[in-house]
């Protein structure tokens, strides 16, 4: 698995900064004034920092950007990075500055002379998020591990905040590793095994295998995986950090590979369908983050793990399947399989846990990419309160999310001649009809949001906080939403 940086939070020490042989990072406001540490370094460097700050290169830098000085005279360091940040710089600028440090500094040992800068945790967050590199499948992978030291005026004041950020980033990295893994490595069974390992963090993990799923009546989920030799599974993760309140629920689609089944996808780009378990990956990462930071809330994560393959035993277009709820579904397109997985586990989650609220995540429709591109996930919800809670958290974390409509007018597209409903409603408004399909498996008294993350789970170009590939989108937003609204108090269902 991809490791986090080895972090040390230490008190300001001038001698230690002089003897550091990696990369030094100093923070300088846009007025170019140096603090005491910076002034002493500048003197040792015969005024080199002052000359850099007087240059057009520094004055033309936007806030959050960096300027590099290589092999500074008078210091042991390989380089000195000047980061342009004000004391009142915003969270986004500060995170973005951390990203710039990660992108420009190639040294394996970084020492940040943070001093009294209050947003040190956000700076570290950006640096750590961007310093991700999936290399599990490379025989001669370049080692990108690095040590990170942060010098501060008060270790006690800063260390808890920084370590809490790293706990959440550990969850992000877990999600990225899961989504980046090829399908012959991340099978339904190996995925379940990795989730079972979360029990070491205090998460209670249950794995429901096919006989138990059949007994529960999860026929729509099972019909997706019946053409594959990989067994379908449902994994339930309980984090019990709160009181006696009912849990909040995360529900994730975990299609470890999606060929489209009998409704076979085109060959071009099918290799990207290793990411079709992205919803389950985000749920797993969020649960890990909550456990690592010991969140004072009760949260349950439920993921359906299947593989959608064509075979003589695969579900056919035109088959009618009865869901766990009891409704019948005419399968028009076997490539609209994610909603069949979610239908059963959404109903199961409500029947078993009666959650205070429920969010499902799925790489569900290509249409959401047409509508929102790769900048935003689509948010569909029956609750104004819950949708605002999530979108506010996503915005604070720099993870784009946009609310999309639901409405009874779309139900007519799901009408079936021979069953209670069809699993697709045609091309028009297909992301909305997918949400409308899922809504049929949500009880009226359950605050619910569906997140279509097809455009943001894995991307072809780097994003603000990640290299290309899996982004880990959603882990930080879900964590923040729980922290802001569901921790440390008895919860009543939101409306």
Q: Which residues are catalytic?
A: 265, 339
DSSP readout, 322-349? E-TTS-EEE-S-TT--HHHHHHHHHHHH
Q: How many CB atoms lie within 10 A of CB 357?
A: 25
Query: Distance between CA 397 and CA 165 in Å, rounded?
Result: 12
Q: Which residues contact 120 (CB under 8 A, 6 or more apart)?
A: 112, 114, 150, 152, 158, 161, 162
Yes or no: say if 494 and 386 are a contact pair by the CB < 8 Å rule.
yes
Query: Distance between CA 495 and CA 492 in Å, rounded?
Result: 9
Distances (CA, A) of 199 to 57, 190, 191, 195, 239: 51, 15, 14, 8, 10
Query: Distance between CA 475 and CA 41 in Å, rounded?
Result: 39
Query: Distance between CA 332 and CA 320 in Å, rounded?
Result: 9
Please list the alpha-helical segments (H only) found in 181-312.
Answer: 188-196, 210-216, 219-225, 278-292
- ∠216-386-351 over CA atoms, to 5°? 15
- Strand, helix or coil for residue 244: coil
Yes or no: say if 4 and 128 are a contact pair by the CB < 8 Å rule.
yes
Yes or no: say if 94 and 85 are a contact pair by the CB < 8 Å rule.
yes
- Strand, helix or coil for residue 422: strand
Residue with tokens 């009874």: 408
Q: What are phi and psi of 354, to 5 degrees?
A: 45, 60
Q: What are phi and psi of 115, to 5 degrees?
A: 60, -125
Note the residue count of the chain.
495
Q: Which of 101, 273, 310, 312 is nearest to 181 (CA)?
A: 273
**Structure tokens, 365:** 């429709």
Q: How many CB atoms lie within 10 A of CB 187?
A: 19
Yes or no: say if 491 and 299 are a contact pair by the CB < 8 Å rule.
no
Query: Distance between CA 258 and CA 290 in Å, rounded?
Result: 29
Query: Distance between CA 319 and CA 190 in Å, rounded?
Result: 30
First to last CA, the chain: 40
């Amino acid at each position: 698995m991809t490791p986090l940086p080895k972090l040390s939070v230490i008190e300001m020490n001038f001698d230690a900064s002089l003897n550091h042989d990696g990369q030094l990072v100093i923070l300088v406001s846009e007025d170019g004034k140096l603090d005491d540490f910076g002034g002493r370094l500048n003197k040792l460097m015969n005024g080199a920092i002052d000359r850099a700050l007087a240059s057009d290169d520094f004055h033309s830098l936007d806030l959050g950007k960096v300027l590099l000085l290589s092999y500074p005279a008078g210091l042991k360091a390989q380089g000195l990075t000047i980061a342009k940040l004000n004391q009142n710089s915003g969270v986004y600028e500060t995170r973005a500055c951390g990203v710039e440090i990660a992108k420009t500094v190639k040294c394996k040992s970084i020492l940040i002379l943070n001093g009294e800068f209050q947003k040190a945790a956000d700076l570290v967050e950006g640096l750590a998020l961007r310093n991700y590199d999936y290399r599990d499948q490379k025989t001669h992978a370049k080692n990108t591990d690095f040590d990170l030291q942060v010098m501060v005026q008060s270790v006690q004041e800063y260390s808890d905040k920084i370590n809490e950020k790293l706990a959440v980033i550990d969850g992000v990295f877990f999600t990225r590793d899961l989504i980046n893994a090829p399908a012959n490595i991340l099978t339904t069974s190996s995925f379940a095994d990795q989730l079972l390992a979360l029990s070491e963090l205090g998460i209670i993990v249950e794995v429901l295998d096919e006989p138990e799923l059949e007994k529960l009546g999860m026929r729509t989920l099972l019909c997706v995986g019946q053409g594959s030799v990989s067994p379908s599974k449902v994994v339930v993760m309980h984090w019990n950090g709160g009181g006696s309140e009912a849990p909040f629920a995360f529900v994730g689609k975990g299609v470890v590979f999606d060929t489209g089944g009998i409704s076979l996808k085109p060959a071009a780009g099918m290799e990207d369908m290793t990411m079709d378990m992205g919803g389950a990956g985000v749920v797993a990462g969020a649960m890990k983050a909550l456990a690592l930071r010991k969140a004072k809330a009760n949260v349950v994560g439920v993921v359906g793990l299947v593989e959608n393959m064509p075979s003589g035993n695969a579900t056919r277009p035109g088959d009618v399947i009865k869901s766990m709820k009891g409704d019948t579904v005419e399968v028009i397109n076997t490539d609209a399989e994610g909603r069949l997985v979610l239908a059963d586990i959404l109903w199961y989650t409500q029947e078993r846990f009666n959650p205070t609220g429920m969010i499902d995540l799925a790489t569900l429709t290509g249409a959401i990419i047409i509508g929102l591109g790769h900048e935003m996930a689509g948010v569909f919800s029956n609750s104004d309160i819950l949708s605002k809670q999530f979108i506010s958290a996503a915005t604070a974390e720099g993870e784009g999310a946009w609310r999309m409509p639901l409405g009874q007018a779309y139900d007519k597209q799901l009408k079936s001649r021979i069953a209670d409903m069809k699993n697709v409603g045609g091309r028009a408004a297909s992301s909305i009809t997918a949400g409308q399909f899922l809504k049929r498996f949500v009880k009226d008294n359950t605050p619910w949001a569906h997140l279509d993350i097809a455009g943001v789970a894995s991307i072809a170009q780097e994003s603000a906080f990640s290299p290309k590939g899996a982004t880990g989108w959603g882990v930080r937003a879900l964590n923040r939403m729980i922290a802001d609204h569901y921790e440390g108090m008895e919860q009543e269902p939101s409306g």
